[in-house]
Amino acid sequence: MSSQTTSGAVTEHSEHYDEVGTRLGFWLFLFTELFLFGAFFIVYLVYRTTYLPDFQTASNQLSTVIGTTNTIILLFSSLTVVLAIHYMRKGIKKMALTFLSITILCGLAFLVIKSFEWGGKFDHNLFLQLRGNIEQGLGSPLLTPGSSEMLPMGQVLFFGLYFIMTGTHALHIIIGLIWMSVLWVWIYQGKLKTDRAGILENGGLYWHLVDLIWIYLFPLFYLIA
Amino acid sequence: MSKKKASQATESNNFFNQHTGKWTTFPMSWLTSTDHKRIGLMYGYSMFFFFGLAALIGLIIKLQKMYPASSGWEIIPPSLYGSFFTLHGVIMIFLFILPGASAVLGNFLLPLQLGAKDVAFPRVNLLSFWLYLGGAILAVVGILLGAADTGWTFTPPYSVTTKTISIFGFSFDSVSWMLVAAFILGWGTILTGINFIVTIHRMRCKGMTLFRMPLFSWTLYATSWIQVLATPVVGITLLMLAIERVMPVGFFDPAKGGDPILYQHLFWIYSHPAVYIMILPTMGLVSEILPTYCQRPIFGYKSIALSSCALAIFGYFIWAHHMFTTGMSDFANAVFSLLTFLVAIPTAIKVFNWSATLYKASISFQPALLFAIAYVFNFMIGGLTGMFLGSLSTSIHLHDTEFIVAHFHYTMFGGAAFGLIAGTLHYFPKMFGRIYSKGSAYAAFVLMFVGFHATYVPMFIMGMNGLPRRYHTYPDIPLFSNMQFASTIGSWILVSGIMLLLFTLVRGILKGEVTTERNPWNSSTLEWQTATPPTLFNFEQDMEVTRDPYDYPAFRLEQKKSKAGGKK
Amino acid sequence: MNSNNHTNSMDQHSSTVAASVVVFVLLIILTIATVVLSGMNISSMGALLIAVAIATIKASLVALFFMHLHYEDIIFRVFFVFAIFALAGIFLLTFSDYAFRS
């Protein structure tokens, strides 16, 4: 917690930087993310139990290899961010920067793989279409009612959930990558104090959250059958 | 480590003229201020403005229902009626009573009650306010420009497909606009909740164990947990709805295999705990007001504190009592009905404790106390009528009738809003260093109390006789016509009371008699030991408490000692 | 409760490199396990439960060790359990509807 800056008749005021309090506050923020994705998972579970065969068929169209690879990449990046923070706390900047770089690269790799994965889906005519376009008859088989190529309802719901949930997850990876990159620059420039490393700790926690969500997304989307 | 505190409070040195940051003139010195007291007041000014605005809209709605349409009476055309109650609901709920006592008095008082100099994250606090103000402006503009008429509940499928009419001649996706605004507002609430939880855990002054914390702080704690754990669910649900409007994925669309009831589950998972966000801080305020005007310890401090937490926890798991008639499984109906009945218990505990506090006390009937007692009375009626709604058989008869409208106005208006008003009147001298006109406040109370019951009792009767809600008119049956007429007259009395109250407050702020008395009501909690109005960092020295917050005998001893010692 | 306790609990433990790597290896093993098990012929409800159970073990490892929950003040774990309890509650109660529809 930084000190208030004041002007006028009031004297400057020094105080403790409450690192535990900052971390406690950030954990509370992480809970909100849990509940955000929790709502998505409720929707997923409701439709999975309603349309199990469709979900199984649709899940088979996702590549388990790609999913497993991405899982391992994220788990590894969680390890490297732990090490980066560990070395930062010890003041060994070079190691910290190395591990932070690996984390960022892993995140980028995840996104690249995911974009190839989504591209593959688009090639198979599986994509979300804008409502306006559908009304003009430009639907995808996913969404055009009455089309002979229309997927069964359960599969439509599966892919809708797939794109939106992995998309939201990818958005969080992007935010995490921006955060990690800013930290990288600050550490490199010596702007990050080891006794005020809250923003580094919290960045690590955020990254682990992103990993946590994927730990549930992976089996629920890729490993149903 | 010792802390240097702000310079001594003098008559002219208080948080109104002490600034954080580099701006020293209004408005920037306020809009960029991280001072929790200024932030609280900014919330207050905004919220009471929105309250007045939405009250006037309510007045117009009541005016529309004064006579049945068959008599040729029309104030609002049927196509616009939906937009009116949507606007009224969205403003009253999202912009007034949901931030409510937590945003105004919570922000102002929590650090004062705890003996702290600010909240845990002052800059995040300011961000919360900006999110509130930004979301509020977006919401109001959005509804006005596109006349969204989905109701504040945004239920699909109507909310997904409705192309809202525009009242300014161009097409505008008012519903998506509002959904995004609600999402932004939600984040303001979440950040406030996080701030308060950490403040309470980390910034209590020396000697203040959790069970020496004042009850308003306890209720803010319980409220903050609901804010953190419930709001995200509705945030993402409303975003899902917005996505659905743009890209039809079918989550809630039966034509694509989706379930509209699922939306209602997710929506009410937040919106029911939301009503506990509205009411819990006001329960804390009443728990501050009653001991003060009775000059005696509150009865059952620990049980009020713990039952507040219990209310938050129970209230989290009863949402589907809003959905009894939607076609849920019988099992779910039974489970939620049972859990709903359980939630009456913590509230009843508090009412008994409050009554016991008043019993045989030497009561000073200040305006704040009148509103507080009216609060208990109104909330009891609201709560008891809730029991009819929580019981499955009667709920089928009463759901979506005017009975429900009366029920939630009794709890949210007669309860939470009256409580907020009581708290505002109680803390007014401390916040502004001014005194409002008591006569004016008493008059406003009488008008509001009489007008309130005159407006809403007829709605209970009409609802029991089957009149649906959200209808722009009604059949010309004597019972309905008479009750609607009476209710409309009641609304005139009520709104004149509201206007008089707002006028009293504004006049008090601008022209009230100046006071620097620290403790005009002789209250025993820590916030009254600050200067009036408080200085920027609240206390002149690090505070320490050695007694319970409502220990009036010990408090009186302290006062005698300090008078004898010649201190101020 | 000592509200002025600003000691950094992180100083009191040393999250050794070795410990973190061990956790990572466990996570990889569990990942492989969940992939292998999904290929086996189990009932769908059983498969779901096993997948969620393994995911929960993995998540616990990440939360307790990578996110240092194990080493923090107890209040962090109390908060976490409380939040999980609330989340579990809304899942269960929502399914009190869907599991029993005729």
B191 to A32, A168, B129, C83: CA distances (angstroms): 10, 21, 10, 16
Burial B454-487 (b: 16+ CB within 10 A, else e): bbbbbbbbbbbeebebeebbbeeeeebbebbebb
Name chain B contacts of A32, Cβ cutoff 8 Å: 190, 228-229, 231-232
Q: Which long-range contacts (CB under 8 A, 24 or more apart) does B358-361 make?
A: B358/B290, B358/B294, B361/B294, B361/B295, B361/B296
Residue in chain C lying closest to A85 (CA):
C15
Q: Is B320 on the interface with C (CB under 8 A)?
A: yes
Instruction: Render the burial of B504-526: b for 16+ CB within 10 Å, e for the rest.
Output: bbeebbeebeeeeebbebebbbb
Summarize pLDDT for A158-203 with one digit per residue, the tens. Answer: 999 999 999 999 999 999 999 999 999 999 998 887 667 788 899 9
Sign of CA dihedral B187, B191, B197, B198: positive
- The chains in contact with chain C, meaning 3 or more Cβ pairs closer than 8 Å, are A, B
Subunits with at least 3 CB pairs below 8 A relative to chain B? A, C
What distance, in Å, lies between the first and last C-alpha atoms of chain A? Answer: 49
C57 in contact with chain A, both atoms CB, cutoff 8 A: no
C50/C40 Cα distance (integer angstroms) = 12
What pLDDT is attached to residue A12? Answer: 34
Whether residues C90 and A211 touch (CB distance < 8 A) is answered with: no
Minimal C-alpha gap between C25 and chain B (Å):
33
The distance of C8 to chain A (nearest Cα, Å) reads 7
Q: What's the longest Cα–Cα distance across chain A?
A: 76
What are the distances in angstroms from CA B451 to CA A98, B380, B423, B443, C59? Answer: 70, 18, 21, 12, 56
List the single residue in B with minimal CA-CA distance to C87.
B229
Predicted confidence (pLDDT) at residue B12 exceeds the cutoff of 80: no
Q: Which of B449-453, B541-545, C82-86 has the lowest mean pLDDT?
A: B541-545
* Largest CA-CA distance found in chain C, in angstroms, rounded: 57
By Cβ distance, the residue of A49, A56, A223 closest to C98 is A49
Question: Residue A84 corresponds to which amino acid?
Answer: A
Interface check A18 vs C, CB under 8 A: yes
Average pLDDT over residues B51-55: 94
Q: B310 touching C, CB under 8 A?
A: no
Q: Please say if the pLDDT value at position B1 is more than 50.
A: no
Sign of torsion over alpha carbons B435, B437, B442, B446: negative
DSSP annotation string for B63-111: HHTSS-GGGT--SS-HHHHHHHHHHHHHIIIIIIITTHHIIIIIHHHHH
* For chain C, counts of helices (H) and of strands (E): 3, 0
Q: What is the pLDDT of residue C15?
A: 53
Number of domains in chain A: 1
CA gap B29, C96 in Å, rounded: 52
- Looking up residue B35, the CATH number of its domain turns out to be 1.20.210.10
Q: Supply the pLDDT for residue B433.
A: 95
What does the alpha-carbon distance between residue B194 and residue B305 come to, in Å, rounded to a whole number? 20
Give the domain extent around B468. 28-564
Distance CA B53, CA B87 (A): 10
3-state secondary structure of B20: strand
C78 CB neighbours in chain B (<8 A) are: none
Q: Which domain CATH number covers A88?
A: 1.20.120.80
CA distance A150 to chain B (A): 11
Residue A1, domain member (yes or no)? no
**CA–CA dist B230, C90 (Å, integer):** 10
User: Count of domains in chain B?
Assistant: 1
Cα B102 from Cα B118, distance rounded (Å):
15
**What is the 8-class DSSP label of residue B433?**
S
Q: Which of B328, B339, B542 should one mutate to test binding to chain C, selecting the residue with the greatest count of C CBs within 10 A?
A: B328
Which residue of chain A is at minimal alpha-carbon distance from C68? A205
Q: A99: which residues sit within 8 A by CB, 6+ positions away?
A: A80, A81, A83, A84, A87
Per-residue pLDDT of B201-246, as tens digits, reads: 999 999 999 999 999 999 999 999 999 999 999 999 999 999 988 8
Q: Cα-flanking dihedrals φ and ψ of residue B20, to 5°?
A: -100, 150
For residue A40, give the chain C residue with the closest CA.
C91
Contacts of B265 in chain C (CB under 8 A): 94, 97
pLDDT top residue among A133 and B181: B181
Q: What mean pLDDT, rounded, does chain A reach?
A: 86
B167 pLDDT band, cuts 50/70/90, is low
pLDDT of B60 higher than 60: yes
CA distance B201 to A18: 12
For an interface test with B, the pick among C96, C97, C100, C101 (most B C-beta atoms closer than 10 Å) comes out as: C97
Q: Is residue B318 part of a domain?
A: yes
Residue C2, pLDDT > 50, answer: no
The answer to whether B329 contacts C102, with C-beta atoms less than 8 Å apart, is: yes
B514 three-state secondary structure: strand
Chain C touched by B316 (CB under 8 Å): yes
Return the pLDDT at A15.
58
For residue A219, give the nearest of C20, C24, C34 by CB distance: C34
Do B206 and C98 lie within an 8 Å CB cutoff? no
Mean pLDDT of B39-46: 96
Whether residue B23 lies inside any domain: the answer is no
C83 contact A CB<8A: yes
Inform me whether the C-beta atom of residue A78 falls under 8 Å from chain C C-beta atoms.
yes
Average pLDDT over residues B517-543: 93
Q: How many Å apart are CA A144 and CA B248, to the nearest integer?
A: 10
- Name the band, by pLDDT with cuts 50, 70 and 90, for residue B566: low
C26 to chain A: closest CA residue: A75
Q: Does C10 touch chain A (CB under 8 A)?
A: yes
DSSP-assigned letters across all residues of B368-428: HHHHHHHHHHHHHHHHHHHHHHHSHHHHHHHTTBHHHHHHHHHHIIIIIIHHHHHHHHHHH
- CB–CB of B227/B107 below 8 Å? no
The residue ranking higher by pLDDT, B279 or C43, is: B279
Distance from CA of B247 to the nearest CA of A (A): 5
Closest residue of chain B to A135, computed from CA coordinates: B248
Percent of chain B with pLDDT over 70: 96
Does A9 map to a domain? Answer: no
Confidence band of B163 (pLDDT split at 50, 70, 90): low
Report whether B194 contacts B184 (CB < 8 A): no
Q: Sort out which chain B residues have CB atoms less than 8 A from A128's CB and list them.
A: 247, 249
Q: Is B267 on the interface with A (CB under 8 A)?
A: no
- Containing domain of residue A88, as a range? 21-222
Q: Any chain A CB within 8 A of the CB of B251?
A: yes
> Best of C1, C2, C3 to disrupt the B interface by mutation (most B CBs within 10 Å)?
C3
Cβ–Cβ of C59/A216 closer than 8 Å?
A: yes
Q: Confidence band (pLDDT; 50, 70, 90) for B553?
A: very high
- With 0-12 CB in 10 A as exposed, 13-18 as middle and 19+ as buried, what is A28? buried
Residue B383 contacts residue B344 (beta carbons within 8 Å)? yes
Confidence of residue B514 (pLDDT cuts 50, 70, 90): very high
Are B376 and B323 a contacting pair, CB within 8 Å? no
Confidence band for B425, pLDDT divided at 50, 70 and 90: very high
| CA C102 – CA C99 distance, rounded (Å) | 9
Interval B322-345 mean pLDDT = 95
Angle between helices B260-294 and B344-358 (to 10 degrees): 10
A47: helix, coil or strand? Answer: helix
Interface touch B328/C97, C-beta < 8 Å: yes
The answer to whether B383 and B341 have CB atoms below 8 angstroms apart is no
Q: What count of other Cβ atoms lies within 10 Å of the Cβ of residue B378?
A: 26
A29, A36, A143 ranked by CB distance to B235: nearest: A36
CB proximity A175 to B under 8 Å = no
For residue B264, give the chain C residue with the closest CA: C94
Of B229, B233, B335, the CB nearest to C93: B335
A16 is a domain residue: no
Mean pLDDT of A133-158: 70
Please indicate whether, in this complex, the C-beta atoms of A9 and B233 are within 8 angstroms of each other.
no
Whether C97 contacts B320, CB under 8 Å: yes
Tokens at B314, concatenated: 């129970």
pLDDT tens, A33-71? 999 999 999 999 999 999 999 999 999 989 999 999 999
pLDDT at A216: 96
pLDDT at B6: 40
Q: What are B98-149's pLDDT values in tens digits?
A: 999 999 999 999 999 999 999 999 999 999 999 999 999 999 888 777 778 8
B201 vs C: CB within 8 A: yes
Q: Using CA coordinates, name the residue in chain B closest to C85.
A: B313
Measured between alpha carbons, how far is residue A66 from residues A120, B86, C27 in Å?
A: 12, 47, 17
Taking the CB of residue A86, how many other CB atoms lie within 10 A of it? 19
Task: Give me the mean pLDDT over the B373-401 stretch.
Answer: 95
Please tell me the distance in Å from A172's CA to the nearest CA on chain B.
14
A and B: number of Cβ contacts within 8 A: 154
Residue C12 pLDDT:
41
Paired tokens of B6: 């702000």
pLDDT at C13 over 80: no
Range of lowest pLDDT (A187-201, B403-417, B477-491): A187-201
Closest alpha carbon to B102 in B197, B192, B194: B192
Share of chain C above pLDDT 90, in %: 68
pLDDT at residue B2 is higher than 80: no
Chain pair B-C, CB pairs under 8 angstroms: 51
Q: For residue C101, which residues of chain B lie inside 8 Å, CB to CB?
A: 328-329
Q: Give the mean pLDDT of C86-100.
A: 95
Whether pLDDT at A145 is above 60? no
Instruction: Tell me the pLDDT of chain B averaged across its residues.
Output: 92
Q: Please, which residues have CB within 8 angstroms of residue A3's CB and are 6 or more apart in sequence?
A: A12, A13, A14, A15
Is the CB of residue C41 less than 8 Å away from at least one CB of chain A? no
Whether B497 has a pLDDT exceeding 70, the answer reads yes
